[in-house]
Structure 1
């Protein structure tokens, strides 16, 4: 028998079964209907060349929304808006795209991945549930997605496609969410929306150095498999050091905007002890930057451990009320989270320290492997000035640039001071006026330097 004839006969059998099912559903008694439905489903599944997987919205006793369902819903949102005829619109909190479209119940859309075609359908089961008062019945809605694919693609769908859907769904959700800036308030975090506009394009620093930092951050963000293979926690430490006004905080904001991470600004002096520190850091989410600014001023982490015994008598003389307010976070407690057994908690996390005085820090705190990348943010170079001139004045070149380049080679001035002098002052603050003001300030700094 030819293959075409086989498929023709198979199609006739399925059509006959479907017709019989429709007749029986209409006229058969309930008991017979349930019996036949069970066996009809078995026969249909045996003859059908397709496999179906169901993803329910809630897991267990409807206590938790399924992460798989949420990832699928997010993944299908763009496909639904392009294909589905009936859609649902919903407003999401904490999202940069608050209005999201998803396919309505009992809709179907198609997807293709690496040449394999897959069909998704949304469904809903409504059942009657008695209320706690036992006087009323309410509708209990259980939503689900079904995935249908050909039997020959079973291994591909289960091993590759579903993993692709989960990763893409989570990535889209992270990309669309509104990021937050957290600060510690006792043993817990409070937050506001993170809206700092800094980017690496607007950062005033050497282009090669900037490119190296961006490459390092991107390699880290895509490095889950690498970190797992080498047996290290998926985290990376950055030490930003340099004089005040050189852009350390702005660098952190640019990092967060590049990777779309939340920022946790940890004030160590407000943390009671190591136990409280551990609770705070464990509760920080993944895809985040944990920041300790001016760490040389934070608790007793400056490396003067040899002087502790000399301090004991003085500490005992302090009033009891003051002793209660002193943070008992220790260097070992912080190191245990950065590089110890607790370092793997959370995943995909940057830890950033900033300091104006790197020489004050304990070498154990900033060694490679803990603070993996040391970044010195120094005084304004001519390359940095050109970026600031483009940001503030919209200038790519000007006749006065040559004079400014000479002066910047003679004196030290921070990017913050340069930016302040490029800021247009009042209605008459045109481009040339701003540049002349900057030149005047630079010449004054140079003259004072020579007088000293």
Structure 2
């Protein structure tokens, strides 16, 4: 009881001192008050060996929370939250996991290379009743780092950069991965709430390399290449190349090019930017779109041979004259550039997008082109250094079929496997067609393995017959054409002889 009375008396004395000090401050000039505060800080430094570093929630950009603050929040949530007494749980923006962080006015302890560091989470509420248009003005959160002065160099030079790097890694692990698509430039806005260059939805494609229908050796080679790229930041810096890699996926429709992209994204834990070239007006817009992409992402241009004319070849002169209206006396109305919806992205602009100076902005990006007709693409577009690895997505092999059988039917062996192997070697069919035949025949009916495999055998026989018929027709047409050419040549020779 005596102790309680003692602390009560101390509290009353402290309150009286603070009241008197506030009265005295009103009658002391501001310059003298500042000097007194400076002298008191110097005096305290002689007796207090601890230093403080403050990390504010909002930095110079008031509309945007500090990246360092967010990294600290993520780091403390992952490494130190278990030692806190007050916690705050929330589902952060673009986060797939619940984030449990240190609540306001609580303190946690961390150790680094033998040094003890104290983190204190706090906030300052403005006394004014004026509503600010800037976020964070009415309620300013911050973290205070407290440490002994002898650890100054260790904390500033090593510990804080370590917290930044680890916090960013935690943010990447916890973030909800996204699938982006580019918006038309007419809707771009720099104001908050307006449309940006990219819109996004959660990326939820379930494809993985385990479920990808592909030859195991080819699949393993791609996985090794992706792992080497992910861990090669220092190597790319050493050789003087931007940290990016290009992949060309080519092959007939239905061979799994889009599924391969999804498997890559899930394996690397990257976002996906699906770039629609026909919605890009010119090379400048293309460059702006690239700048707005983030690291740890895959930039995809699907069916690049069908998007825009990127042959790089000069137009025919007659076609140019016809386009320019030469020889036509009718007056031509001027075209409003803002209403001209046709894309003017050039081969040169796309090449600069892939490996020009602007491609070095940021890092850890993969660029993927897909096409059904590799031969239609300009050689400059797909040379090594731009599209570093060419991956052929071919027709279904027996090894790929076994992956599909495992995925769809949960089987690894069956009496019909031998027949399926023989037919796959004799005909060409896409993995998509094989998968369709392995699907259940009816939702109400349980999956019947025998019926599904029998349907596949029937489809393979039909494809074999159609391929044979097409080949016979092609040979007949070639023979007919050869006979016609021979007949024409004979008639021409007869006329020359007669003449």
Pair in the same fold by TM > 0.5: yes
1:239 to 220, 230, 248: 248
Structure 1 pair 328–404 and aligned structure 2 pair: CA distance change class (3 A): same
C-alpha contact 1:296 1:361 (8 A) present in aligned 2: yes
Correspondence for 1:107: 106
Residue number in structure 2 paired with 1:281: 290
Question: Secondary structure of the residue that 1:59 maps to in structure 2?
Answer: coil
**Separation (CA, whole Å) in 1 of partners of 2:227 and 2:114:** 29
Map of 2:122 onto structure 1: 123
Q: How far did 1:42 drift? A: 3.6
What is the SS of the residue equivalent to 1:350?
A: strand
Residue in structure 2 matching 1:191, options 197, 200, 207: 200
What is the TM-score of this pair, normalised by structure 2?
Answer: 0.77
Q: Distance in 2 between matches of 1:260 and 1:238?
A: 17
- Per the TM alignment, residue 363 of structure 1 is displaced from its structure 2 partner at its CA by 0.7
Q: For 2:156, what is the secondary structure of its paired residue?
A: helix
Shift of 1:219: 2.6
Which residue does the alignment assign to 1:30? 21
Contact preservation (8 Å) 1:80, 1:101: no
Q: Deviations over 1:65-111 (max 9, x none)?
A: 221111100111134541211112233232212x3221122211122
Separation in 2, partners of 1:310, 1:111: 75
Whole-angstrom CA distance in 2 between matches of 1:389 and 1:277: 42
CA contact (8 A) 2:80 2:109 kept: no
Q: Report if the CA contact (8 A) 2:78-2:170 is conserved.
A: no
Q: How does 1:332-371 map to 2 (within 5 A)?
A: 332-371=348-387
What is the rounded CA distance, in whole Å, between the counterparts of 2:111 and 2:75 in structure 1?
13
Query: Is contact 2:131-2:138 (8 Å) kept?
Result: no
Matches of 1:209 and 1:109, distance apart in 2? 49
In structure 2, do the counterparts of structure 1 residues 95 and 446 end up closer, same or farther at CA, with 3 Å as the change threshold? same
8 A Cα contact 1:272 1:326, kept in partner: yes
Question: Considering only CA atoms, is the larger Rg found in Structure 1 or Structure 2?
Answer: 2
Following the alignment from structure 2 to structure 1, what is the Cα–Cα distance between the partners of residues 258 and 320?
A: 35
What is the aligned partner in structure 2 of residue 83 from structure 1? 83
Distance of 1:64 and 1:39 partners within structure 2: 36
Greater strand fraction, Structure 1 or Structure 2: 1
Instruction: Determine helix, strand or coil for the equivalent of 1:121.
Output: strand
Q: Which aligned pairs between 1:244-323 and structure 2 lie closer than 5 A?
A: 244-303=253-312, 305-316=313-324
* Structure 1 contact 256–263 (Cα < 8 Å) conserved: yes
Query: What are the equivalent positions in structure 2 for 1:128-167 lying under 5 Å apart?
Result: 128-131=127-130, 140-167=138-165
SS at 1:365's partner residue?
A: coil
Give the aligned partner of residue 445 of structure 1.
463
Tell me the secondary structure at the aligned position of residue 93 of structure 2.
coil
- In structure 1, the residue matched to 2:5 is none
Separation in 2, partners of 1:414, 1:72: 49
Q: 1:429 Cα deviation (Å)?
A: 3.6
With over 3 angstroms needed to count, the CA separation of the structure-2 counterparts of 1:229 and 1:150, relative to structure 1, is farther
Alpha-carbon separation, structure 2, partners of 1:220 and 1:47 = 53
Q: CA deviation at 1:391?
A: 0.9
Equivalent in the alignment of 2:488: none
Alignment match of 1:433 (pick from 451, 476, 483):
451
Q: Secondary structure at the match of 1:363?
A: coil
| Residues 38-72 of structure 1: per-residue CA shift (max 9 Å, x gap) | 55544444444544322122224855422111110
Report the RMSD for the aligned CA atoms in angstroms: 3.2
- Counterpart CA distance in 2 for 1:310 and 1:349 is 42
CA contact (8 A) 1:202 1:387 kept: yes
Instruction: Assess, with a 3 A threshold, how the Cα gap between structure 1 residues 399 and 51 changes in structure 2: closer, same or farther.
Output: farther
Distance (whole Å) between structure 2 residues aligned to residue 334 and residue 308 of structure 1: 22
CA distance in 2, matches of 1:227, 1:376: 26
Which runs of 5 or more structure 2 residues have no equivalent in the other structure? 1-9, 26-32, 186-196, 473-499
* Residue range with higher mean Cα deviation, 193-202 or 358-367: 193-202
TM-score (norm: length of structure 1): 0.84
Determine the structure 2 residue equivalent to 1:136: none
Aligned residues: 427
Q: Give unmatched runs, 5+ long, in structure 1.
A: 1-19, 134-138
2:343 maps to: 327
How far apart, in 1, do the equivalents of 2:276 and 2:64 lie? 33
- Quote the offset at 1:353 in angstroms: 0.5
Check 1:190–1:124 CA distance in 2 against 1; reply closer, same or farther (3 A cut). closer
- Distance in 2, Cα, partners of 1:203 & 1:63: 43
* Alpha-carbon distance in structure 2 between the residues aligned to 1:214 and 1:154: 43
